[in-house]
Structure formats: structure tokens, C-alpha cells
Structure 1
Amino acid sequence: MITIAITGASGLIGGALSRALAARGDRVIALVRRAPRGPSERSWDPARGVLEPSAVGDVDVIVNLAGAGVGDKRWSTEHKTEILRSRVGATHTVVRAIISSGRPIRLVNGSAVGFYGDRGEELLTEASPAGTGFLAEVVRAWEGAADEWVTAGGSVAFARTGLVMTRDGGALAPLVRATRLGAGGPLGSGRQFWPVISLRDEVRALVHLIDRPDITGPVNLVGLEPPRQREVATAVARMLHRPALLPAPRLGLRLVLGQFADEILASQRVLPERLLQSGFTHEDASLQAVLTRALG
């Protein structure tokens, strides 16, 4: 049994990870932004940069998943500022607490395939350089916020997560809603690659990184081969017995989503090279398996 502290434990991925770790017998501590309600919770305030070293003094691993939701609302200048500030601030706060604790705490830090930007048909691995665009800038700053612990020799892995497929949120939920209403179909051209992964494999990959402190640096948490977006739209429509005919034009998406539409339409052919090299195997290897797991 090890002790694992999780920020963002109430979120979709953090909640599923917490349950998986508890089920295998680990001690899970949720870092919360309110008064603790029991021994499995400890308070912190990332907005003010407050996490007492004593709160992590008995912790073996911290999984930092804190950050404002990227697709929760239409992008405005204020929301984009919050997306960046919440991630960088939370990571700085966690790293300072780790260093002040004087313990060799393993850090599995949240990250995203947004690092690569819009890259068309290019095959992307962890060795690929950063792309351009707002999310690429966010991810560079997000990962860079852990530099002090990396430089000090700490064990840090950056979980560059793709599109986690679940009916409860992320990129799939709005596609399912639109498809049920008969408005499903490709987004833009539909030719863009979507680096999808099931929630089950996302959690399994995070557990893999928790258990392998020798794996450091960026690790792509994505499926084996990303499908094109139109393949996802067609498969969802087929599973829901609905049509998927009319594409959603870029202009319409921008009116609804703001600048976030450009990220939805980005093509990222990301491969899980380091994950596979470390011995990880996907349980939901195909698009059909990923969507079946998500939609039931």
C-alpha cells in the first residue's frame, strides 16, 4: 500500500482514479479547496499558492489534475486566463510543497496533447516539438511550472492526455447530444485526427505512471492509432441509430464555442510511444471498443 494525494479528485478523471486506487488497497488523499470532511481529505488553496508541507509529509505520490475545464464554456479572454492560471498556479503550489517537505515524492502531473498544436497528417510522439496556438502555450507553461522539482532530481512524469471518451463530459458528450437530436456529423472537414482514449485506459495509464517512478518526462496518454473525427462521428451515430450527415461548419462552431472551435478542429495524430515502450497495454484498443466502453 502506498499513499497517493490527488488534486482534482472530484473531477471525471480524478474521481475514477481515486476509486481505482482505493479498490486495489492504496491510501488515497484528496486535496480539497474547503475544510476537510474526514481523514481522507486535506485542504489546499492553489489560487493563493497555499499547500502546507505537512499536508504531504506522509505522501508517496502526488497526482496533480487540477485546472479549469477547457471545454466547459465559451472561450473568452477571462476564461483563457483562468485556464492558464489555474494549471500553472496549481503546479507551482504542489512543487513548492514537495520541495519544502524534504521527501522524494513522485509527481504525476497533468498535461495534454494540446502541446503539439494543429499538425495535420504528421505522426507525433513525445520527441516531437511543441506546436503553436493557445493550448500549446498553456501546456508548455504548465509543464514548465514543475521545472524546480525536475531540476532538483525529482521523479516527474507529464501525462499528456488525449480526448478521454465518456458520455459524462469531454469531447464526446456534446457530440452524443447533437447526434441524439439528429444533428450529428463531422466537425469541419472531419479529416482531423482525434487522439482518443477510453476513461478506463486513461485511469490504467495513470496508475501505470504512479507505479513506475522510473518513467519521467512527457508520456502521451492516447489510444493506439487516432481515428479521424468523421470516423468518430459516424461510429457514434451508428451506435445511437441516428444519422450523421451534415458537417458542422467552422464558422458555426466559432459562433458557439469561440476560439475553442479552432482546438476542436485541430488535427493531432499522436501516438503513445513511451507508454507502449514501458510495457503498457490498452484494454480498449480500437475505436469501437473505446466508444462501446463510453456509451455502454
Structure 2
Amino acid sequence: MRIVMAGASGFLGARLADRWRRSGHDITRLVRRPPGAGEAAWTPSQGRLDPAVLAGADAVVNLAGANIGARRWTASYRNVLRASRVDSTDTIARAIAKLPPGDRPRTLLQSSAVGWYGDTGDQEVAEEAPAGTTFLADLCRVWEAAARPAEDAGARVVLLRTAPVLDRQGSPLKPLLPLFKLGGGARIGGGRQWMAWIALADWLAAADFLLEREELAGPVNLVSAQQCTNLEFTRELARQLRRPALLTVPGPVLDLVLGELAGEAQRSQRAIPGVLRDAGFSWAYPDIQSALAAALRPQPAMTR
């Protein structure tokens, strides 16, 4: 396939592009600098993308967006988080819609997040559940809505509601590992809140699955087959690292250190993979034990 990718230099995008190149797909990366080989320029903050870049592509994949956990959520950074997602999605969707049907990509795989659901407590939520009332839920709502021009033009739009992806090189594991290795592992609050997560290998396999399955469209929860609580996650990570995890991080301390982002860490989110499960997707690492074991293994370097 010929695939155009935005966000191909990010943690997930780089690994997905590498996987697809190995599989023989032709990847064109959208970049906000002078383009090199296999690249095309765009300026999403100004809504600038030549539709000809997308013409004839089989699929477009948009994983662009500023890092949720990179900084405290000041008012200015909340605007960055929103604009980086909405501008990129709107620019791509409108460029797809401008193309004649014969040149239009059949598929748009559009990034989103399980933050759509907000705090769900102990309730399981599948893709049909409404958006929550948190900042992230509102962000996901406008983010997904920005893809509507592509859907209205007849493209198959798949909204990838991604959970935190478990890999030693990415968040949330990368910042946690030094603390746990020093015996400073800690549950958050009471630890009873449910965590949404997915193993990196399963996220990549799900992206493959959704690229190929043309009957699937709309929101899809990219989450594990089995859920776990924060306490279960903490105990299992400590066990695999052979370190104690006896501490608790109280909510007020998180609030002091992380600001509004701390609220997300303390919310309970029991998202289930309804669409993937019903479509017959098979998880390589369905439970937290196998997923953490895979995440902690050294991995081969990516090709360029």
C-alpha cells in the first residue's frame, strides 16, 4: 500500500512506519520542514497541505499531537495540546475531502485516546459510551470531530482511541522504571482505580488489523483484552523488577507536582476493546503479566 503518515517521528509513529516499511508498504511522511526523500511538507497550524500529496494513497494515518505528559497543563499548554491535534486532523480531513473520488484515499486512521471516556469508576465502557466531562474527554471530542470532513466525503475513518502503551522506551513505563528499580515504586492513592493500557506489540498489530479490515470504521478502543487496577499494575511491575513497592503517592502530592495532569492519573478508566474483540483480533499480550514481561525485554533497534 501507499500510506501517508503524519506524526511518523513520534514514539508510536516511528515504530509503525518501521513495521510497515518492513512489510513492503510505501510510506510518505508529512513534515513541517523542508522535505527529504519519502517526505512531503505541510503546515497544519495554517491548514496548509496540498491535496495532491494524498492523491492516490491507499490510506492516511494521523498520529500528530503534542505530548500529553511533557509539561504541566497550564492554560497555554492546554491550547497547544488542543491546537496540535485539531489543526492537524482538520487539515488532513479537508485535504482528503478536496480530492475527486478516484484519487481520494480509502482510509484515514485517525489518532484519538481513551481519555474520551473520562472517569468511569468500576463501569466497563465500550466504543458506544458517550464522552466524559474532563479536559481530556473534551479534547478527544473536538479532536475526533475534526475528522468529519473526510468521513462526509466518503473515506473510511477509524478513530484510534489509544490507551497508554506499555514499552520501556515510552510513557508511562520509561519514567517509572528508575523509581521502581530503586525500590521507590508506589501505587497512586488507594490503587483501586482501573487503568487502561495496551502492549506496544498489540497496538502495532491492531493498527495493521484496522488498516486491512475495510468493514471497520468509527471509534475503536486500542486497549488490552484484560484490565487491571493501579495496585495490580504496581505490584506486578515491582515483582518483575524484583523490587519492593510499598509506598503510596497521596493525591495532594500528585496535585502539587503535576497540577491538572494529576487528576488523570487518579481517575478510574475501565475501557474494553469491544470492536477489536468482536472483529476477532487476537492479543499477543492480553494480561498485565505478559505485557510487562514483553515491555521489559530489550528490543532491536528500528531501521531507517
Question: Given the two structures, how large is their TM-score scaled by the length of structure 2?
Answer: 0.94
Aligned to 1:145: 146
- What per-residue deviation string (whole Å, max 9, x for no partner) do you get for residues 68-96 of structure 1? 00011222111111111110110000011
Aligned alpha-carbon RMSD (Å) = 1.1
Counterpart position of 1:9: 8
2:74 corresponds to: 76
Inter-partner Cα distance in structure 2 for 1:48 and 1:213: 31
- How many corresponding residue pairs? 294
- Residue 162 of structure 2 is matched in structure 1 by 161
The Cα shift of 1:176 comes to 1.6
Q: Distance in 2 between matches of 1:221 and 1:79?
A: 26
- Quote the Cα distance in structure 1 between the aligned partners of 2:240 and 2:160: 30
Q: Which residue of 2 aligns with 1:36?
A: 35
**For 1:46-84, what per-residue CA distance to the aligned partner results, in whole angstroms no more than 9, with x for missing partners?**
111111111111311011000000011222111111111
Paired residue secondary structure (1:186): strand
Q: Which residue of 1 aligns with 2:48?
A: 50
Answer whether contact 2:160 2:220 (CA < 8 A) is retained.
yes
SS at match of 1:202: helix
Whole-Å separation in 2 of the counterparts to 1:99 and 1:231: 46
Structure 2: distance between partners of 1:223 and 1:175 = 20
Superposed displacement of residue 248, structure 1: 0.7
Q: 1:127-171, CA deviations, whole angstroms, 9 ceiling, x for partnerless residues?
A: 111111000000000000011222233210100001101111222
Q: Which letter maps to 1:98?
A: I
Look up the SS of the partner of 1:28 in the other structure.
strand
* Structure 1 position 104 matched with structure 2 position 92: no
Q: How many Å apart are 1:182 and its aligned residue?
A: 2.1
Matched, 1:254 2:252: no
Look up the match of 1:131. Answer: 132
Alignment match, 2:212: 211
Amino acid at match of 2:41: S
Aligned ranges 1:183-222 → 2 under 5 Å: 183-222=184-223
Name 1:235's counterpart in structure 2.
236
Q: CA deviation at 1:122?
A: 0.4
CA contact (8 A) 1:175 1:233 kept: no
What is the CA-CA distance between 1:192 and the residue it aligns to? Answer: 0.9
The aligned counterpart of 1:94 is 92
* Partner SS state of residue 219, structure 2: strand
TM-fit CA distance, 1:181:
2.7
Q: Structure 2: where are the runs of 5+ without partners?
A: 298-304
Task: Letter of the 2:61 partner, please give it.
Answer: V
User: Does 1:275 pair with 2:276?
Assistant: yes
Q: What residue identity is the alignment partner of 2:56? A: D
Q: Which amino acid aligns with 1:28?
A: I
Give the Cα–Cα distance (whole angstroms) in 2 for the partners of residues 167 and 253 of structure 1: 22
Instruction: Structure 1 unaligned segments of length 5 or more: list them.
Output: none
Retained in 1: the 8 A contact 2:7–2:13?
Answer: yes
Say whether the 8 Å CA contact 1:191–1:229 is kept in structure 2.
Answer: yes
Report the alpha carbon displacement of residue 257 of structure 1 after superposing the two structures with TM. Answer: 1.0
Aligned-residue offset at 1:254: 1.2
2:301 matched to which residue of 1? none
Is the deviation greater in 124-133 or in 95-104?
95-104
Q: Secondary structure at the match of 1:247?
A: strand
Identity of aligned pairs, percent?
40
Cα deviation for residue 256 of structure 1 reads 1.2
Q: What is the one-letter code of the residue matched to 2:146?
A: A
Q: Tell me what 1:178 maps to.
A: 179
Structure 2 SS opposite 1:42: strand
Matched, 1:85 2:83: yes
More displaced 10-residue stretch of structure 1: 145-154 or 285-294: 145-154
Quote the residue 2:57 is aligned against.
59
For the 8 Å contact 2:111–2:162, the answer to whether it is kept is yes
Return the offset for 1:234.
Answer: 0.9
Q: After the TM superposition, which of the residue ranges 133-142 and 254-263 deviates more from structure 2?
A: 254-263
Counterpart CA distance in 2 for 1:182 and 1:214 is 48
* Contact 1:195–1:225 under 8 Å retained in 2: no
The 8 Å contact of residues 197 and 223 in structure 1, kept in 2 or not, is answered as yes
